[in-house]
Amino acid sequence: STSVLDQLKKFDGKSRTLGVKTTYLEPLSSKWTVIFDYAYNNSNSTSNRNTFNKSNNGKYEDLDTVFSNNFDLVAASHSGNTLLRLIDKKLRLSLGSGVSAVQLKLHNLDNKNHNAYNFLNVTPQAQVNYTIKPQNTIGISYRGTTRQPRIDQLQPIRDNNDPLNIFQGIPDLKVGFNHSAGFSYYNYKVLKTRYLYFSANYNVTQNFISNYNVIDRSTGKRIYMPVNTNGVKNWYSWASWQQGEGNKKWRKSATIDVSGGRNINFTDTAIRSLKDAQKAINNYTNTNFYLGIGYSVTDKYSFNIRPRVGYSTSGSSLQTANNLNYYTYGGSADGYLSFGRFEISTDINVDYRQRLPIFSQNTNIIRWNGTITRKVFKDKSG
């Protein structure tokens, strides 16, 4: 069935922000340094979101209080950071943490309610880089960051801009905390012009803000709300080998990247306790392998070819029939040929995906560009 949303919506607002920051650096020795900084920010804003229904006289004068909200917001934050840094011949180390206190004062202009939200954020960090020998380095890092709820996620109002998908805020959201750990390795052989690089990163979030979807199966309407959950994560790793560079030398390369993660959301047919809702866990992975070869002669010609093959998986704990495992193929190539005052250049990118019954159409893409250029100056500069 089709329904018409006949309403007048008026949105307006204003904001003003003031901030200051100061930094102090103190050398402790020829190798050690300590850094302090402090910042203060204050923001005042007003938001007016009003929805009007059509009255009997044909004018939009009847305020719809369900989908209207007017408020003043004062946000103040104090933050400080301390960082201890070491710079040695082979070792570079930085270790420290930041602490910030954030207070949100919300005044609901419709019902005159006053709410205050206080968040304490801690952001530890550590990074170590060790040079095994020149052009050969290993690194380890960790960073913790907080993720505050947005003010619209905290407001218990409904937004019906899309009548089939209505958003509703939740005042009791908690601050999320993300842990990020990384590792890297770099090696370069100058005489062999060989380059090797590897990096990996892992992220997991406590109190991740996900969606709680309440679906009316008879009408297809959905009310979705932000909720906190644990177990959301993502990761990636990347390794590359390259050799050869310069005029009249073959360039060869091989690269592999692997990434994946887990998303979580909740589904129900009525607004109830979160523990009674269906928990949908989606795990996914993506793997791509590239080979590359190229050759060039200065001012005459050059070409590069880089084929790719990939494999992806996606699996849901609820809709197992829609789990996907498929290959992708493609790559890129480019080159140019110069003769006299003319230069012909071209590049192509190809992306093919294995045909899947769940998709009615394949998203195979080929992009091919080409140019012909004639240089008018004697030195061929343009």
Higher per-residue pLDDT: 369 or 271: 369
pLDDT at position 157, please?
67
Classify 317 as helix, strand or coil.
coil
Domain range summary for the chain, segments of one domain joined by +? 21-374
Q: Is the pLDDT of residue 378 over 70?
A: no
Q: How far apart are CA 247 and CA 362, in angstroms?
A: 41
pLDDT in tens, 120-133: 888 899 999 999 99
pLDDT at position 353, please?
86
pLDDT in tens, 20-66: 999 999 999 999 999 999 999 998 888 888 888 888 888 888 888 87
Q: How far apart are CA 382 and CA 374, in angstroms?
A: 8
Q: Is the pLDDT of residue 154 over 80?
A: no
List the structure tokens of 325: 């495992």
pLDDT in tens, 308-357: 999 999 998 887 777 889 999 999 999 999 988 889 999 999 998 888 77
Q: How far apart are CA 256 and CA 309, in angstroms?
A: 10
Kindly report the CA angle at 80 between 76 and 81, in degrees rounded to 5? 145
Q: What is the residue whose two structure tokens read 């560079």?
A: 245
Question: DSSP assignment, residue 81?
Answer: E
List the structure tokens of 310: 């990939």
In DSSP terms, 18 is beta-bridged to 42
Q: How far apart are CA 260 and CA 181, in angstroms?
A: 15
pLDDT at position 300, please?
92
